[in-house]
A and B are shown apart, each in its own frame.
Chain A
Amino acid sequence: MSQPITARPAGFFRDVGSVAIRALQQLPRDLEFVLPALAVPTFFLVVNIGALQDVAGFTELEIDYKAFQLPVAIIFAVTGISRASALVLDIQDGYFDRLLLTPVSRRALLLGLMVSDFVLVLLLSIPVTILGFAIGVRFPTGVLGVVVFLLMGASWGVAFTGFPYAIALRTGNPSAVNASFILFFPFAFMTTTFLPLESMTGWLAEVARYNPVTYLLAGLRSLFVGWQFGELAKGMIAIIGLGIVSQTLAFSALKSRIDGR
């Protein structure tokens, strides 16, 4: 006689995997979410290069302006992309309660979503990078440089997701999550999006010095010059620093939502 099938703890990593698989299964059904995330960086890459390439000639750039803009497009592709809106819908539909009624690790509920976010932003970065190749951008750092370029971009994307998740968990409100997109603007525009730091002046240059995106962009752009480990390390520190802040907010919001019941 066979043993009856009964529940047992799945284990932390399987929990993370289960949550991530579910989130990834939903992606093809959420094209209205995925397609704009691809269209925005493509648009900015084309427009920025078209509009500013000649103006940028007056600055002292180490690299071609197309290569200068490709990391910007990657930042646009990966920043603020998360399943936070889906999480809010789960909260509203009661599916989040269904998950809480299982023995799943509570941290896995967020980490699983972030794993799927990592996969998504990586997938979004690939066509943008291919577009970069199509317009003539080349990596002197080779295939490994491309891999590092994509991984750094995706890591930044995941580090940033803590903000929308924190808002989703604190408010349970889809409008608030959508509004969290405005966080993207100071990070993405008060930095070296259009010009190198040396060419910026006044308060904007000062703000850019404290913006982690400045160092992330510098790290990504360094891959078009050669292996500059100092620049890469500063970029990684920027990612880790932002990640610590945003993920602390997200996980404390998760704890608050669960414990505050």
Chain B
Amino acid sequence: MIRAESLTRRFGDNLAVDSIDLSVERGEIYGFLGPNGAGKSTVVRMLCTLLAPTSGSASVADLDVSDHPGEVRLAIGVALQEASLDPKMTGREIITTQGRLFGLRSTEISKRIDELAPLIDMNAIDHLVGTYSGGMRRRLDLAASLVHNPSVLFLDEPTTGLDPPGRLRVWEEVRRLNRELGMTVFLTTQYLEEADTLAHRVGVIDHGRIVVEGSPAELKRSVGDDVVVVKVAGDSDRVAEVLAAVPGVDRIERYEHEVRAVTKDGGRALSPVAVALDRAGCVVDELALRTPTLDDVFLHVTGSHLEGGDT
């Protein structure tokens, strides 16, 4: 449904997207995970026909984005990173204008507004968008993107700035669209939980390149099982030495003031780790057991944490 081959975009000397290959199947939710500035939005803008690739090719809904941009636009719905709404229009006017530009008749638009009611605050639909809260604007933006029943939905950080209930509403709607309508969803996010919860497959992008790709479960398995995290203020060399000697610890990873003991069974390893550290006289600020997250995947493949990662 979405393909990219050696897709590249430069802005002057800045290589924003560096020859990425993508393949997203029909009916899949694909999570595109990466920090700010990694190139996520640039990829989305190229796939959505807003930005021309410097080189490489891409197709969406089996249509080349450079050769058939008009047909691609008919097939896609897009909610960009910032809710792109006119504050001097009402919610109804936004949806109606959007519907008209997608060729819908008035009766069809009215029907779609009813169908999209779970997303829209119907009490405020005739109020100016400028009076909406951030969450209301986000959901209206999503509703406007869906008015024409697209087969592919691009969501560029759809829950950034939303409170937890608002985020859950958007997640539920994305799941429903995918489950009930078979909509293909391309979702960029910097929230690990979002990618983990929603996506069938995740691609991790960093400095314009996809550094790893797979299902969340596969990716998490790929970086080990459980992790005992030890945060230290003092001698981390000594802590690493002690942890390496604990039975069941497979390997040690170190990041600044953090030492991590990777083990297949964190529950069993935790107590021996604590005892070993105590016996060795190590001063520990924090000791915690973590099962692998996508942040571990990100850390493993890029050497740094994901900025803005939430959990």
Contact = CB atoms under 8 A, between A and B. Distances in A.
A26 interface: yes
Nearest to A3: B108
Given A101-B78, A103-B73, A95 B86 contact: yes
Interface in B64-89: 70, 73-76, 78, 80, 82-89
B84 A26 contact: no
Contact of A8 (B50, B74, B76, B97): B74
Contacts of B83: 94
A100 B100 contact: no
Nearest to A25: B93
Nearest to B72: A103
Nearest to A96: B84
Contact of A29 (B45, B51, B128): B128
Interface stretch (B142-150, B259-267, B276-284): B142-150
B90 to A, nearest CB: 9
A8 B99 CA distance: 10
A98 B103 contact: no
Q: Which of B76, B84, B111, B150 has the most CB of A within 10 A?
A: B84
A94 B78 CA distance: 12
Interface of A: 4-11, 14-15, 18, 21-22, 25-26, 29-30, 89-90, 93-95, 97-104, 259, 261
26 contacts: A5-B148, A6-B149, A7-B102, A7-B104, A7-B148, A7-B149, A9-B74, A11-B103, A14-B103, A18-B101, A21-B97, A22-B93, A22-B97, A29-B128, A30-B88, A89-B86, A94-B82, A97-B50, A98-B98, A99-B101, A101-B48, A101-B76, A102-B101, A102-B102, A103-B73, A261-B45
B118 to A, nearest CB: 17
A256 to B, nearest CB: 13
A113 to B, nearest CB: 13
Contact of A101 (B52, B73, B87, B93): B73
B39 to A, nearest CB: 16
B89 A7 contact: no
B6 interface: no
Given A4-B149, A5-B148, A10 B112 contact: no
B19 interface: no
B49 interface: yes
Contact of A26 (B52, B89, B102): B89
